[in-house]
Amino acid sequence: MLIRQGKAPAGAILPLDIPREGLFKLDVDDDIWQDVGLNDEHNGPAPLWLRDDAVRQGIKSMLQLDRCKEEEARLLRERKALQEWMQEEWQVVQTAKEIAGMVYVSTLYFTY
């Protein structure tokens, strides 16, 4: 109301609407967490991250990209661990086959 009447401080911005039905289902990205205007030290226009939708979307996209990179690194570590496990299992099977072959051959010699 003060902004419309021209009585608000310079650079004041209207807070974004918070839908009433989702008030108790808040997410970390919801507008309710924006704290601009809570102190009197800020004189001038609001920061871009608060007043520019493109900047906010860019920040969210950058964070999502960071999470994707973290997930990719985790998957690469998991793949390496699985490959190492499979190599060990393969070696165990090969050793078991060799031992089984030796036991079979030695039983042939002792039965005659």
At residue 47, the pLDDT reads 78
Q: What is the pLDDT of residue 27?
A: 74
Q: Above 60 in pLDDT, residue 38?
A: no
pTM check: above 0.85: no
Mean pLDDT over residues 36-56, rounded? Answer: 71
Exposure string of 40-58, with b = 16+ CB inside 10 Å and e = fewer, is eeeeeeeeeebeeeeebee
- Is residue 42 classed as helix, strand or coil in its secondary structure? coil
Q: What's the sign of the alpha-carbon dihedral 6, 34, 52, 20?
A: negative
Nearest in space to 32 (alpha carbons), one of 45, 46, 15: 15
pLDDT band at 69 (very low <50, low <70, confident <90, very high): very high
pLDDT at 36 over 70: no
d(CA 72, CA 66): 10
Q: What is the pLDDT of residue 24?
A: 75
